[in-house]
Copies of this chain bind each other. A is one copy, B any other.
Amino acid sequence: MAGAVLEGAEGVLLDISGVLYDSGGDGGGVPIPGSREAVRKIKASGLKLQFCTNETQATRDKFVKKLQHLGFDIAVNEVTAPAPAVCRILKERKLRPHLLVHDDLIPKFADIDKTNPNCVVIGDAADNFSYKNLNDAFQILISLENPVLLSLGRGRYYKETDGLKLDVGAYMKALEYACDIQAEVVGKPAKMFFQSALTEMGIEPHQAIMIGDDIVNDVGGAQQCGMRAVQVRTGKYSRVAEYMAA
């Protein structure tokens, strides 16, 4: 990051997957060289720091523990993630979700009424994206008079240690098309999501810089919100760049 980029900045929002580490493998992922030091330096500089992730393969607690284990200086209250945000929405709008999410995320919805569902919540369900499970979600949506699909992000794919993996956005599109509806995205690039991270930090958009590897969800979303943004050349960026050069 050049000094000019930081001019007038009070805080930094950091994406996690593809910026701090590449997920996957037995150990749960591999830190990207220099990223642990970068987090320490940002904190030491006096800049405020909030991690802003669309990660929905685990609860925030479990996710943060994994990152701590990988050597990152990170705490649960420093992480803005979609699952707590969607739980607030479900309660406010009295929505009873059918969940199509990763097993590890299910405990997050323990105190939410899920009987007789009147909406579908879709997250990065990975292997839970079976034909049967997607069809179950579809059948619920198509049977509703006003189908509500809440999607924890709209990412196309992400990078794991063994290659690129389809993200929730692809499956969101499948359900949107099958039911002829538009999903409501909770998470990046939704404006409300970035704003909740800024509120957490107590700063205004023009005082913040978002750093991520996704040109649409990180960079585009933050800019739409009035923030500056930097795209790193790690994570999915590097992999696509490799393909382009091949």
Query: Which A residues fall within an 8 A CB radius of B?
Result: 125-132, 134-135, 138-139, 142-143, 145, 156-157, 163-167, 169-171, 173-180, 240, 243, 246
Chain B, residue nearest A138 (CB): B166
CB-CB under 8 A for A157 and B178, given A138-B166, A139-B163, A164-B139 = yes
Whole-angstrom CA separation of A145 from B131 in the bound complex: 29
A-B residue pairs in contact (CB < 8 Å), sample of 5: A135-B165, A142-B164, A156-B179, A166-B174, A166-B178
- Which secondary structure characterizes the binding site on chain A? helix
A232 to chain B, nearest CB (A): 20
Whole-angstrom CA separation of A167 from B135 in the bound complex: 10
Residues of B close to A178: CB separation below 8 A: 156-157, 166-167, 169-170
Cβ-defined partner of A129 (8 Å) among B127, B134, B176: B134
A101 to chain B, nearest CB (A): 13
Whole-angstrom CA separation of A167 from B132 in the bound complex: 12
CB-CB under 8 A for A243 and B174, given A127-B132, A134-B129, A135-B166 = no
Whole-angstrom CA separation of A177 from B135 in the bound complex: 19
Residues of B close to A164: CB separation below 8 A: 138-139, 142
Cβ-defined partner of A131 (8 Å) among B129, B142, B174, B176: B129
Q: Is the CB of B163 within 8 A of A177?
A: no
A144 to chain B, nearest CB (A): 9
Q: Is the CB of A157 within 8 A of B142?
A: yes
Whole-angstrom CA separation of A171 from B129 in the bound complex: 12
Whole-angstrom CA separation of A157 from B177 in the bound complex: 10
Whole-angstrom CA separation of A162 from B36 in the bound complex: 53
Residues of B close to A135: CB separation below 8 A: 165-166
Chain B, residue nearest A155 (CB): B178
Whole-angstrom CA separation of A139 from B236 in the bound complex: 13
A206 to chain B, nearest CB (A): 31
Residues of B close to A142: CB separation below 8 A: 157, 164, 240, 243
